[in-house]
């Protein structure tokens, strides 16, 4: 088994909000959708899915920004960094923005989503690509494939 060296910590840009991770990542992702392009001010957003009971806000009070509906995006109230997402209907995981973590370097994206909206120059190196989101029934297999992928090489 890979040693993930848990727990992890992370923070927004200003450091007022700190988060902690105590469970291994389920899967890593890059999203090319135009919403993520705008919110991340980049070609795509990076995220790592953490089991909900392995994620905690350690300090500060994140506020909702971005989508205010059933899917909620959480931001630092001071520096406005987009930190994590609680996706609609999937409250068993939290989608943490990978670059909040103190050591994000081993969390290369395994799945990329919304390649239909991808900027022509954007390259993520992801193993699996989907034009929008993967079908719900695909997630279990993707999570298993990710576990095998991280075991097969030091990533």
Q: Which x/- pattern, by CB under 5 A, does the window 107-146 give for Zn ion? A: ----------------------------------------
CB nearer Zn ion, residue 23 or residue 138: 138
96 makes contact with Zn ion (CB under 5 A): no
94 binds Zn ion (CB under 5 A): no
Is residue 23 within 8 Å of 140, Cβ to Cβ?
no
Measure the CA–CA gap between 155 and 150, rounded to whole angstroms.
Answer: 6
Q: Mark the segment that binds Zn ion (CB under 5 A) among 24-32, 50-58, 92-100, 145-153.
A: 24-32
Near Zn ion by CB under 5 A: residue from 19, 21, 29, 36: 36
Spell out the SS3 assignment of the chain: CCCCCCCEEEECCCCCCEEEECCCCCEEEEECCHHHHHHHCCCCEEEEEEEHHHEEEEECCCEEECCCCCCEEEECCCCCCEEEEECCCCCCEEEEEHHHECCHHHCCCCEEECHHHCCCCCCCCCCEECCCCCCHHHHHHHHHHHHHHHHHCCC
Tell me if 19 contacts Zn ion by CB under 5 A. Answer: no
**Contacting Zn ion within 41-80 (CB under 5 A):** 76, 78-79
Looking at the Cβ atoms of 12 and 111, the one nearer to Zn ion is 12
Longest dimension (CA), the chain: 41
Nearer to Zn ion, 3 or 121 (CB): 121
Q: Which of 19, 30, 31, 107 binds Zn ion (CB under 5 A)?
A: 31
Q: Is 14 in the site for Zn ion (CB under 5 A)?
A: yes
Which residues lie near Zn ion (CB under 5 A)? Answer: 12, 14, 16, 31, 33, 36, 76, 78-79
């Amino acid at each position: 088994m890979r040693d993930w060296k848990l727990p992890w910590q992370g923070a927004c840009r200003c450091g007022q909000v700190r988060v902690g991770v105590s469970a291994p990542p389920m899967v890593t992702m890059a999203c090319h959708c135009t919403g993520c392009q705008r919110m991340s001010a980049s070609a795509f957003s990076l995220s790592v899915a953490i089991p909900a009971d392995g994620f905690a806000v350690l300090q500060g009070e994140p506020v909702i920004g971005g989508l205010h509906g059933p899917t909620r995006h959480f931001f630092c109230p001071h520096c406005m960094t987009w930190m994590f997402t609680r996706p609609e209907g999937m409250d068993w995981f939290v989608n943490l923005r990978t670059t909040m973590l103190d050591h994000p370097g081993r969390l290369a994206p395994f799945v990329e989503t919304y390649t239909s909206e991808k900027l022509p120059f954007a390259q993520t190196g992801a193993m699996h690509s989907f034009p929008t989101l993967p079908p719900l029934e695909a997630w279990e297999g993707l999570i298993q494939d990710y576990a095998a992928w991280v075991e097969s090489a030091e990533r």
